[in-house]
Chains A and B, each alone.
Chain A
């Protein structure tokens, strides 16, 4: 199916700034769904609030654009209501891990079969460039004019510790790899987390003197290397990408189906 058949043209033009990485994620997501051959009727996309959350409106799936931080809680209801549907949740870094941090760890703990895509641009874009829990120490933001003193989360470590059974990191530079990882994440039975590092040249790049979108993508190419590179190079600047966790653990909806079987027998 052509890419444009997945798009709701009524929604366009999109709201993203020139050079924003989120369009690349949207494109990658469409290609992943297309390669998997999933029917558009079988996908529910649930998002929260923020630049990233607008992904849902642009796509011709069943789409639920909800409240800031709460997408995963809505998604749990959708998935339990219709476990046969594919539930995909695009989120931003602030959306997923600041206001939505509690829902994130509990969705991971339950291992409910939802695909969480965290589009990490390390900044609140829609409100104009405030620091997020993934900005990191030393970063400049409109609410950190003297530089940020908040330490950041490592999404991969957090998701792994919380019990996610598929955890990966991708970038908007390594597009082909990102498409493959999204495919794997959708296919995985259980809670899957893909952190997709995305550039925000408008707020993060400009404020932190990282140049334009091209310069930010080049930087990603240089410092985001395959798993194992950190030990090999011993450089603390290096961020690893790839699939970190992939394991089998009972999935929540399947477990609940078993509860129903037991309850019906008891009755």
Chain B
């Protein structure tokens, strides 16, 4: 890959990815361990004519990016657990109104104030179900800085393609660790631009009537179409409606447009999965340790495999079921009490094969930790 080589924090890799994807507006509030994203963007955005604003809280930050997105900008906010909790209502608003936006959550230990400077992956289910009501969501992860960059670009592309908020679930280790990043040259990674309506002035424009390919072209605020955006159930004009067929149609649309596209939305990496007797499933920074274990064991001729999930939601049930089909042990490595593990159990045949290898003490899960747990799981003692 050609490009500029940098030695940066994961949070900075996220900033570079966002700028590469065309970010023009960021609103945020300082919170550990995501603050560096705001700091860097306060410097970088005005250099390209973009805008940065530090709002009065995370609620306002989430609302401000939605407002700015409606003027045609690509937008993002970044936060951590407590801030992500505050954003949930407006996240639901963005889902309901189908407004493209990217929300980065650099996870730290919770609940509550928790352990702000230490790592955790405890917000996986919050990303899925944090906002009220039935809905669907896209959530991506990354385990190294090149992937943080790539997944940030993906987050914007998916957000624009499907007109949906995308949650990028990073964690404290990935966010703060420094490593090499190659920033690709412009054009090397494709960028999805905002799809604008081609309906001319004076012709009836339906902001919520999907095209044949399912996409919903937008009309920016200030343009020739004056449409209504509301968090109430609404018809194809954006006007509130409590007609049961409209309500049912909209909620099905919001869920189906994500869930039916699971195959297109699934991003993953794998090592030695095809012949794996023991398959490790992981994501985010814990996938680094899992990969280390798998590579070591394979060097010794043992049949270990790694499935690194980069898309957590919509959960890639089909992929996980097929990759796990022949494994004797399936070990989910994560830093929570089994949020992905329980979903894997739902996905696979013979769920009694699925075990959890985790750490929930604020410390990073190391290859040694995983090895120890493998011994226990495989009945070899400590």
Contacts and interface: CB of A to CB of B under 8 A. Distances in A.
Interface residues on B, range: 35 or more
A264 interface: yes
Nearest to A53: B230
A10 B46 contact: no
B93 A66 contact: yes
Given A73-B55, A81-B67, A62 B25 contact: no
A202 interface: no
Q: Which secondary structure characterizes the binding site on chain B?
A: mixed
A74 B63 contact: yes
B102 to A, nearest CB: 14
Contact of A81 (B72, B223, B224): B72
A179 interface: no
Nearest to B220: A82
A11 B227 CA distance: 12
Interface residues of A, number: 42
A156 interface: no
B226 A74 contact: no
A26 B229 CA distance: 19
Contacts of B43: 263
Interface centre among A10, A77, A79 (most CB of B within 10 A): A77
A77 B67 contact: yes
A102 interface: yes
Given A57-B240, A103-B60, A259-B46, A81 B68 contact: yes
A60 to B, nearest CB: 6
A230 interface: no
Contacts, number: 138
Contacts of A57: 228, 230, 239-240
B221 A44 contact: yes
A73 B64 CA distance: 5
B56 A102 contact: yes
A65 interface: yes
Contacts of B63: 66-67, 70, 73-74, 76-77
B55 to A, nearest CB: 7
A67 B231 contact: yes
A246 interface: no
Given A64-B229, A256-B53, 8 more contacts: A10-B239, A42-B222, A57-B230, A62-B226, A66-B231, A70-B60, A81-B221, A264-B46
12 contacts: A8-B228, A63-B228, A67-B90, A70-B63, A77-B64, A77-B68, A77-B75, A81-B71, A102-B57, A256-B51, A256-B53, A260-B51
